[in-house]
Each structure stands twice: as structure tokens, then as C-alpha cells.
Amino acid sequence: MERIDWGAPWLGAVRDLGVRVQREVFEGKPVAEALNVLSTVSFRFVPQSDLPEGTAYEQYIWDTRRVPTRDNLHDFFNGLVWLQFPRTKRRLNQLQAQAIAADGVQAVRGPLRDAVTVFDENGALLQAPDALWDALRSRDWQRLFIDLRPLWAEARLVLFGHALLEKLVAPRKPMVAHVFHAPIAMNSIADVDGWLADQVDASAWSTKPFTPLPVLGVPGWWPANQAPGFYDDAQVFRPLRAAPVP
């Protein structure tokens, strides 16, 4: 936890709260207790040991409004996202619990649970002009990051996935967010949370309505992306796949 750089742009949505929770941890509190100290929501964080053996994690959260939490970075960031995006996290949890109630816990997740997990772990919201979105969807990286670079001043990328936040503590070029299209008009995180919770629809999300975005390519997010040729790496900035021939 000492390695977290709170000045990093990808931590913008959780920075203020994260610094305060981190301080509680450094004073000796377990992560669950530290999160509860700063919590203003109606659910609680509990030690992982409170999760009964044989009970699905998502089902337990839905039934009890308690979030089992380990003392590690992964659950630290998960807790911060729960506190900053409570409505969306509760909605995602509802879909997970409903799918478990209907189908049980299986070796392979169904399409809905898979989509929810992808966004929960690695999701982000991009508020950006249409030109940037058009370039992103077509994987036109040259246009997206070089030709339209000044337009990024009008965009905002808000990271949601706690696994992605954890991985970015040690940033590497290939790290990718699964991005959902959000309107530019929203300013506060509370507004974003309310809007996103209303967008989480079981039928629509089963198709994974997300677009991959290598986050360290975002202008201003990593000094290395100013270097010539940074975006020429096809292993990271992959072209759009051709549609299969009928």
C-alpha cells in the first residue's frame, strides 16, 4: 500500500477517500475497519472470515449488505469503489445474486455474470466528444491519440474496476480498461454513479457493451506516451478485427 501514487490521474475518482482510508490502515486498522470508519453508506465491510463456508460471495453481500474484505490491495480498492459508487456496485451485485439464484454457482459463468465481472474488475467510463468515441470504436489509434490529441482536454476517463486500479499501482503499457460510453454532461462522481446504476440492464449487459482502451495511452496519463512510436506497438494497440466472412 505504500507504493500507491495518489497523484496518478487514474486514481482521481477515489483519491480523496483513498488517502483517508489508507491513513487508517497505516494506524493499524484492518482494511474492513478502515473502510467502515469513512463509510457513509448503509452496508458494512467485514473480515473475509465472516463469509460462511459454501456461501457465494456475491449472494452473501446481497443478502446481508456486508462486504467480506481481505487485508490486501485488491480489496482495499474494491472497498473504495463501493464507497464512491454505491448504487452501481449494489446494482451489479443484484445481477450477480439473481444469476446465482437462477443457475447456481457453476464452473463457467454465464454471459451476464461474465459481463458484470469484467466491468466490476476492469471497467471504466469515458466521457468524450463523439470524434474520440468514433476513433476508439474503430481502433484508429493514430487518430484517437495523435491526430485528435488536443480533444482529450474535453474528455474524462473514470476508472471503476478495482482490479485495474490495483494493477496500476505498478503501471505497465498493456493494461486495458473495458470502457462504457457515458455522457459528457455529468460532473460529480455521485451523478456518474446514479446514471451508471440506471444503465446496468441484464439483457443489454449480457453482450458486454464495452470497448477496450489501453489506459496508459491516454494523453497526460503516462509520460512515455509522448515518445514517437509509442502507439505503434500492435501488441497493445491492436487493430479492429475484420468481420468474419459469411
Model confidence over 36-88: pLDDT tens digits? 999 988 899 999 999 999 899 999 999 999 999 999 999 999 999 999 999 99
d(CA 32, CA 227): 41
Residue 41: per-residue pLDDT: 85
Residue type, 105: V
Which regions of the chain are under pLDDT 70?
Answer: 103-109, 242-246
Query: Given this model, what pLDDT does residue 241 score?
Result: 75
The pLDDT value recorded for residue 106 is 59
CB of 143 closer than 8 Å to CB of 89: no
The set of residues, in sequence order, having a beta carbon less than 8 Å from that of 213 and lying 6+ positions away, is: 124, 126, 136, 157, 176, 177, 178, 179
pLDDT for the residue numbered 246: 54
Q: Where are the domains of the chain?
A: 14-84, 119-228
Among 169, 214, 127, 125, which residue's Cα sits nearest to residue 8? 169
Cα separation, 7 vs 5, in Å, equals 5
pLDDT at site 244: 47
Q: Say how far apart CA 80 and CA 82 lie, in whole Å.
A: 5
- pTM for the predicted model, two decimal places: 0.93
The angle at the Cα of 98, spanning 97 to 102, to the nearest 5 degrees, equals 115
- Kindly report, residue by residue over 197-214, the tens digit of the pLDDT: 999 988 888 888 899 999
